[in-house]
Structure 1
Amino acid sequence: MTDGITLPGADPDLLYSEDENALRAAVRSLLADRSDPATVLAGLESDVAYDTGLWHALATEIGTAGLLVPEKLGGAGASAREAAVVLEETGRSVAPVPYLTSAVLAVTALLGCDHDRADVAVPLTALAEGRTVGVLAVPLPTAPGGLTAPASVRADASGALTGRVTSVADAAGAELLLVPAEGPDGPALYAVAAAADGVRVDTVTPLDLTRPLGHVTLDGARGRLLAGGDRARAAVDRALLTGAGLLASEQLGVAEWCLTETVRHTAERTQFGRPVGSFQALKHRMAALWLEVASARAAARNAADALATGSPDAPVAVAVAQAYCAPVAVRAAEECVQLHGGIGMTWEHPAHLFLKRAKSDELALGSPGRHRDALAGLVGIPAP
C-alpha cells in the first residue's frame, strides 16, 4: 500500500473503504425501498424485460452505470472494487436490472476498444450515463477465453452481419448490441442498434426470471466496426474476465441474504417449545455455511481487487473466485429453502428467487468446473 493505493503486485486490500461503504449504503437503501421481495415477485408476472424505474434510479441517480468509465467520458472513474459492491447488493435483492450485462460486460468491452474514436466514445458515454442499455452478444455461459473458435456471426466488407447468438442475457431490453463477429479480416467487434432492420430478439423462458435471456438473430443487420483482430479479441476476453470476476460478488450477495434469512427464520420458528435454530444439527449446518460465506467474501474481494489494480494474477483470482463462490451461493440457497421447511417451497416466499439466481449464476460466464480447469492451466497443475 502507498498513500492508500494498492499497487500491482502488492498484497491485496480486501477491506472496504469508506467510499465503498457509503456506496453500499446508498444502493442498499434504494433496493430495500424499490426491490423488496414482494415487488420482485410481482414483476415476474409482467412481460417487462427489467424494472426500468429501478434501473434509472440505480444507474443514473446514484450513478452506478458509469463506475468503470473514465470521468472524461461521463463516468465516475472508479474501479472494479466499487462495481463489486453494487453487485453484492443487487445479489442480496436479486434486483431485476441489467447491471452486470450493461455496466460491466458491455462497458468493459467498449473500454477495450479505442475510446478516443467518437463511434466508441459516444455509446460508452451513453452507457455511463444510464441513457442506453447495452449487452455483449455472447451466450451467457461463455467463460473467459471461451470465444477462441470463429464467431457464430459473420460480417461482410460493408459491415452487414448475419448469424445467430443464443442465450444472451438481457438482450430483450437492450438498445445496443456489441456483437463479436468473424469479419473479412478475422475477429471483429461491431456495434448494432437493437432496433435496426435485420435484428430480431426472441425471448426464451429462463430458470432465473429476474435475468431474462434472448436469442439474437441478425439477417444483414448493419453494424459499426469498433475493433478488429487482436484488439477485438482482447476487448471481449477482458469483458468476460471482468464479468466473471465481479459475478462472484453477486454470488456472495445471494449467499449472504440466504444465510441471514435462514438464521432469522430459525431463531423465530419454534418446535417442541424451542427455536429450531437452537437444535445442534441445525447450528452445525448454519455454522458451516457461515464459514463458506466468509471464505467466499475473501475470494470475491480478491478477484475485484485484482481486476481493479490490473494485477497480472487477475485471471488466477477470477478462476478461484468463480470456482468457489458459485457452489457456495447454490449451497446457501438450498439450505435456505430446506431450513425454511414447507414455506420455503412456496411461490410467495422469495427463497426460490435466490435459488434460481444462484443456479443460473453457476452456469453464467463459465461453470465452476470450467474455471477449475482454467486455474489448473494458469498455475501449472494440469489435470491427469
Structure 2
Amino acid sequence: MTTATSQEDLDALRATVRDFLEAVSGEEAARELIESEAPFDPKVWAQLSGELRLAGLAIPEAYGGDGFGLVELGVVLEEMGRSLLCAPFFSSVVLAATTLLAAGDDVACARYLPGIAAGTTTAALAVTEADGAWGPRRITTVAEETSPGQWSLTGRKSFVIDGTTADLLLVVARAGVGLSLFAVDRQAPGVRAEALRSLDATRAQAQVTFEAAPATRVGEDGAGECVFGPVLDVASVCLAAEQAGGARRVLETAAEYARTRHQFGRPIGSFQAVKHKCADMLVHVELAEATAREAARLHDEDPAGLPAAAAAAHACCSRAYLFAAMENIQVHGGIGFTWEHSAHLHFRRAKSAQLLFGGPAAYHERLLAALGV
C-alpha cells in the first residue's frame, strides 16, 4: 500500500505532464512520427524518463524508482492518452515492470528494473500468439533447458507492443511443470522482430519469432501462469486511464469546434442535435474517468476489489473512448473524415485499445468471473 498523494499534488503532477507533452509531443508530433515510420522520439523519451522521472514513478524505491502507486501513474497515463504519446512507456513501465514485480524474482528485479526506471532500458512483454488472446492455455512457445540456468526458446509471439525497439523481452513460454517467464535480449541470436501494420499507428506492435533463442528464467519454474491475473489487472487499469484521457481530449475538441464553427449564421453548438452529441459524450467521459480513478485507488488501498474494478474500468473506458471518438468525427462533419484531421488518430487509438487485451467478450468474461457469476 502506498501513501495517498493529496489532490493538490496530483493536480500539480497533471499540469506538469500536460505542459511537457503539449510542448514536445502533441497530436502533430504523433502525426510526424507516423509519417516518418519512427516508433518514438528518443529525445522526448530521454526527457520524459530522465528529467521528469516518469518511467520510475511507480517502480519501488529499492529498484531506483519513486515508489508511487497507480493513482499517480493513472494521472500520467491520462495525459499521455490525451496527447497520443508515441513512446515505449506502456510496454516498459506498465507491462514489463509490473510483470517483473509480479514474478517475485528479486535478482531479476534488481537487474532490470533500475534501467527501466531510468529509461535507459526499454522492455516489452511477449504473451499473445497468433489469435491475440491473453490466456495461458493458448501459449505454444516452448523453452528447453540447455544447461543449468540456461534456456532456449522456440516459438512466435504476435502483437508485442514495442517489440521491435525493446532492449529486453519478457516471454511467457511452456517449460518444465507449466508456464514460466523468461528474459530474452532482443539482439540475441535466434530473435527476429518484425513490425506489424496495425490500425493504431501511434502504438507500435511487432511479431517476434524465437528460434533456439538464449533465455534466462525469471521467477520459479511453472510460476508464469500466476502472473497473468495481477499483470492483466494492472494493465487494464492503466489502459483505462489512458483511454479516459483520450476521451476527455476528443470531447474538448468537439466542444471547441461546436463553439467556433458557424452554419446559417450561428455556432453549430447551438443546434439541438449537436448539443445532444456533446452532452452524451460528457456523460461517457465523466463515467470513464470515475471508474479508471476508482480502480487505481483500489489497487493502492484495497487490492481485494481490484480484479472486478479493473475489468469494469477497461469495459467502461473502452466504450467511452470509442463513443467519444466516433461522435467527435460526426461533430466535425466532412473535415472529421479526412486524413489531415486528428480525429481519426483518436478513433484508431480508441478501437485498438478496446481490442488490446482481447476485446469486449474477454473483459466482460473477466468481470463476471471476478464477481463470481
> Are positions 1:116 and 2:113 aligned together?
no
Match for residue 18 of structure 2 among 28, 36, 60: 28
Q: How do residues 239-250 of structure 1 correspond to structure 2 at under 5 angstroms?
A: 239-250=231-242
For the residues of structure 2 that align with 1:184 and 1:355, how far apart are their CA atoms?
43
Q: Percent identity?
A: 38
Q: Which runs of 5+ in 1 are unaligned?
A: 7-14
- Equivalence for 2:116: 127
| Conserved 8 A contact 1:270-1:276 | yes
- Equivalence for 1:53: 43
Task: Give 2:280's aligned amino acid.
Answer: A
Flag the 1:302–1:170 CA change in 2: closer, same or farther, 3 A.
Answer: same
- Equivalence for 2:196: 204
SS at match of 2:154: strand
For the residues of structure 1 that align with 2:366 and 2:333, how far apart are their CA atoms?
38
Flag the 1:218–1:106 CA change in 2: closer, same or farther, 3 A.
Answer: same
For the residues of structure 2 that align with 1:120 and 1:282, how far apart are their CA atoms?
52
- Equivalence for 1:94: 84
Task: Give 1:106's aligned amino acid.
Answer: A
> Are positions 1:42 and 2:27 aligned together?
no
Q: Cα offset for 1:37? A: 2.0
Match for residue 145 of structure 2 among 144, 147, 157: 157
When structure 1 is superposed on structure 2, of 235-244 and 29-38 the one drifting more is 235-244
For the residues of structure 2 that align with 1:251 and 1:206, how far apart are their CA atoms?
18
Flag the 1:51–1:16 CA change in 2: closer, same or farther, 3 A.
Answer: farther
Task: Give 2:200's aligned amino acid.
Answer: D
When structure 1 is superposed on structure 2, of 310-319 and 190-199 the one drifting more is 310-319
Q: Cα offset for 1:61? A: 1.4
Match for residue 178 of structure 1 among 159, 167, 170: 170
| Conserved 8 A contact 2:176-2:222 | no
For the residues of structure 1 that align with 2:316 and 2:194, how far apart are their CA atoms?
33
Q: CA offsets, 1:191-211, max 9 Å, x none?
A: 000111000001111110010
- Equivalence for 1:19: 9
Q: CA offsets, 1:81-105, max 9 Å, x none?
A: 1111111011101110121111011
| Conserved 8 A contact 1:139-1:169 | no
For the residues of structure 1 that align with 2:276 and 2:104, how far apart are their CA atoms?
53
- Equivalence for 1:74: 64
Q: CA offsets, 1:59-93, max 9 Å, x none?
A: 22111111221112100100111111111011101
> Are positions 1:147 and 2:135 aligned together?
yes
SS at match of 2:223: helix
Q: CA offsets, 1:87-126, max 9 Å, x none?
A: 1011101110121111011000011233432x33111111
Q: Cα offset for 1:218? A: 0.3
SS at match of 1:45: helix
For the residues of structure 2 that align with 1:235 and 1:84, how far apart are their CA atoms?
21
Q: CA offsets, 1:126-167, max 9 Å, x none?
A: 111111110111239967xx4231622111012010000011
Give TM-score, length-normalised by structure 2.
Answer: 0.94
| Conserved 8 A contact 2:132-2:159 | no
What's the RMSD between the two structures over aligned residues?
1.9
